[in-house]
Structure 1
Amino acid sequence: MTNSMDLRPFRIEIPDADVADLRARVAATRWPAQLTDTGWERGVPVGYLKELAEYWRDGFDWRAGEAELNAHPQFVTTVDGQDLHFLHVRSANEDATPLLLLHGWPGSVVEFLDLIPLLTDEFHLVVPSLPGYGFSGSVTAAGWTDGRSASALVELMDRLRYDRYGVQGGDVGGFLGPEIGRLAPDRVVGVHANAFVTFPSDDPSDLAGLTEDEQRRLALFQQFQEDGSGYLRLQGTRPQTLAYGLTDSPVAQLAWIVEKFQEWSDPAAELPEDAVDRDRLLTDVSIYWFTGTAASTAHSYYERLHDAAFWAPRERFTVPTAVANFATDIAIRRFAERDHTIVRWTTFDRGGHFAAMEAPDLLAADVRGFFADLTH
């Protein structure tokens, strides 16, 4: 198994031929029909996607997004046989707290571009592409569970010589943060999570006395299970079959991702670009396309759903934990406190699942407040 302690400088340089191929494939899309009197409830509407795909082909500037990412120092190192790409943005303050920022699916390091400048006064930032995602490249073998990914990220922080650090993550990053804390409780000062997921137990008393807001979030969770988890079941059970379409058709990949931005973003936003900058969204989708990591990221769901360790009962997580709950998030504090040491719980009425993109000001302030309380 290949391992390298080297931290190799990295720069994103997608060949012109790949950009031209993307445009040609979008132009050659074979479009399905749209049933009359139907909308987003059945998936991404054809009319909307045609317009967005046309902009992706003729209006979107990949080089601008590429340059914005390349403005930050980037590196690749090999951990457990897999490349691990990361941005490393050090604060001018040498005494700043190291902070690991973890994206989720269908996200990437692009999620944090607006958050980074809001945090660099207080933090040295390490922003990896998760194993199997984006510029970390596809994993090449089965077995990359959340525990294994967390172990790779602990090793990354060791190689950067960060002995004490914080972790912030949403979605998949919200699962990985506590895993990292379990592996390195003496090094992780605290875990901050958004887009956090909690589950009620089988005890009916769990549901007694829920507040109005908690009832709303539980209803969102139940709706997700009944009508919004098709992507999870597909990626978690047949990722390889799904991957052919996502890898061959950029419009399929676009639809697969943009659907989640529409469903999970702030409910006040009618369309995804009402919540998230359209070019940022397309930069994110383009990373999935150019790196060909649709299969690899889907396989990560298979690993999670079939990982006995992920679902097994464990001792309560003792590292101080903060949860930022945005409008579409489903976390309920009493459920979270069963398994985590919750010391901060903040509820926001603006922003959704992609908080670092939708409401970076709110997320940054909450992160700063949490770690300030822990480190001073």
Structure 2
Amino acid sequence: MSKDYYAILGVERDATPESIKKAYRRRAMKVHPDVAHGDAEAAEKFKELSEAYEVLSDPNKRAVFDRGGDPMSGAAGAGFSGFGGGFAGGFDFTNLVDAMFGQAGSRGPRSRVRQGQDALVRVSLDLHEAVFGVTKPVKVATAVVCPKCSGSGGEPGSEPVTCATCNGNGDITQIQRSFLGDIRTSQACPTCRGYGTIIPRPCGECSGEGRVRTTRTLQVKIPAGVSTGIRIHLEGQGEVGPGGGPAGDLYVELSVNPHESFRRDGDNLEMVVKLPMTAAALGTTVSLTTLESEWDKSDVEDRTVELEVPSGTQSGTRIALKGRGVPRLRGGGRGDLGVTLLVQTPTKLDDHQRELLRQLAVARDETRAEAVTAKPGKGGVFGKLSEWFS
């Protein structure tokens, strides 16, 4: 026998059925006449490749071939009647689809009930809501199960009927003549759109889709310590699928609004406090209003804090108040409240005040002070203040 079907497919003689199918799939994609337009011998190569696959994919024909017999003669070759005149029995394109894509050509009726899509909503929070947590009403425009038909898509009391075009199969087969013979292809039924059934009386509320659009309000619990960009996952709160199918998930993406007095830095809260020059020189105690003052669930004693400013404090000094910052989202405890002091030089002085300052300058030998250049750095006063005001 002149033909070596194993060589034609490019597989070993002990190749598995799966290896044979993969080899046929790869080569058929290259030599199919509809693909290899520039190859005049494509039709002959494809017929030869199909013959090899026909033999090696059939255990009986393969056994005949391995014993040195002719698998295409007699009963073994009933599926072919020679290649001189094409495929006498016709060529089923769905078999090629099965070999090339690993699926049957006939899909069968598809379900009207499908999974719904996920949904995303964005929610803005004030800083105290993000720091201490809040339960917030969130409006979601989404799809819900149709209240009239309960997802069936038909008017109450009506039932789907079998499609007369495809007899409930969901797809139809078309036969086309070609030089290869009859090529049969399957496609979704145009009458029932592949469902296999028809709804004779579609629901007037949802037009047969089984779901309607609406806006609903969810109470979303937002934990303490969240920040901009965090998404809260709510399973099964997204859009209901067609036919009243299972709902997708809802993602709530958070965005925290800037605050006029506080700035967040990780788990810390930062603020700048202006301090008179005399208070910085002599030392003082400053009463500060904390972020807790904006949270209605906070204890009254936590809404203010006393800050001890030591004498000789320089502008840009940062004092950390432990445990007065942001609760850690993962793990216990809170960050710090960092207070950066900005010492202010008086700009308006009367004669008496000016004389007192002049006397102080004489006493401190500062009447002709020398300027000392400070190096800007991330950890210095310039770095802290520029970072704050940016």
| Fold in common (TM above 0.5) | no
Greater relative CO (CA pairs within 8 A, separation 6+): 1
Considering fraction of residues, name the structure with more strand.
2
* Higher CA-based Rg: 2
Q: Which has the higher helix share?
A: 1
TM-score, with normalisation over the residues of structure 2? 0.17
